[in-house]
Amino acid sequence: MNNSIFIFPGQGSQKIGMGKDFYDNAPLAKKMIEKASQRVGFDFTALLFEENDRLDQTEFAQPAILLVSLIAHRLFSEQCKVIPQSVLGHSLGEFSALSAASAMDYLDAVELVHQRGLLMKEACEGINAGMMALLGLDDVSVENLTCKERELGKKVWAANYNGDGQIVIAGNKDDLASLEPLFKEAGAKKAVLLPMSVASHCPLLSSAQPKLEEYLEKWLKESFAMPVISNVTASAYQSKAEAKRLLSEQLVSPVKYKQSILHVENATDSFIEFGGSVLKGLNKRITQKPTHSITDMKSLDEVLALL
């Protein structure tokens, strides 16, 4: 396991109580949460540990997930000096990966993804944006169907390639709903509208790109400790200029998660997921290589014991 790749979950992995065990048992985690609360001006302990409806809103979900991921990573790194071959994340998780690669201070990353969430929310206001999960259709079928429907005026795009037969599409919610019978007819086992008010990774977010680029210019560092795998290209990059361009493109381009894992799997003997276990589930459908998830002190100790 000394030849690992570090991976970081994206939006949809959030749940009330995440990070609580770290907060209760690790002074470093408590300090990171307190500093993040001061930085963005809202209380992460209330957001993470108390029942609320804000944790599902993109501008709060994004910094919450990133913060818990980076706490898990920092606690691991304090006790283990394994340097990963590369790092990657799913959508938002790419920002966690950048911070883990020392390309961005964690507090800058927390503020950046909070602002990214606000920009995404603003871009989708008044356009009835949504996302739909499709199970049982191959990539080419989904691409052909959505392409054909766009030619007919529908706003629908492939957004996340999560695994064989598991794709998320984004666009106008009414357009997505209207295509459910078409997808079922083509062989989809499921076509389910997700509880999302944004349409991630499609051209509907283009208005958010210029401002995001300004934040990236402000907070990204020039050098990275290790390569980061891009969601847009499924290939590695390791410079501020590339990061700025690729993370802006990531807003309007599909997440090539499956392709990213396949690209790196021969260079590693395992994956370590920080702050969630969603990617562990996806990886089971993509690769034979094991994925170990760190979500609390117990799982942290278990992964450290394997090294």
Clarify whether 201 is annotated catalytic: yes
Angular region, 128: left φ>0, alpha ψ -120 to 50, beta rest: left
The conformational region for residue 12 under phi > 0 = left, psi -120 to 50 = alpha, else beta, is: left
Q: What per-residue string of b and e applies to 188-203 under the rule 16 or more CB within 10 Å gives b?
A: beebeeeebbbbbbbe
How far apart are the C-alpha atoms of 121 and 174, rounded to whole Å? Answer: 18
- What's 226's DSSP letter? E
* Residue of 201, 253, 263, 292 marked active site: 201
41 CB contacts (<8 Å, ≥6 apart)? none
Known active-site residue 206: no
State both tokens at 50.
Answer: 């108390």
Task: Choose among 67, 42, 39: nearest CA to 52.
Answer: 42
What is each CA distance from 154 to 9, 119, 150, 179, 220, in whole angstroms? 30, 23, 5, 9, 36
Q: How far is CA 27 from the centre of its chain?
A: 26
Residue 305: half-sphere exposure toward Cβ, Cα within 13 Å = 6
- The catalytic residue among 13, 91, 248, 293 is 91
Residue 128 DSSP label: T
Q: Cα–Cα distance between 21 and 156 in angstroms, integer?
A: 40
Which residues are part of the catalytic machinery?
Answer: 91, 201
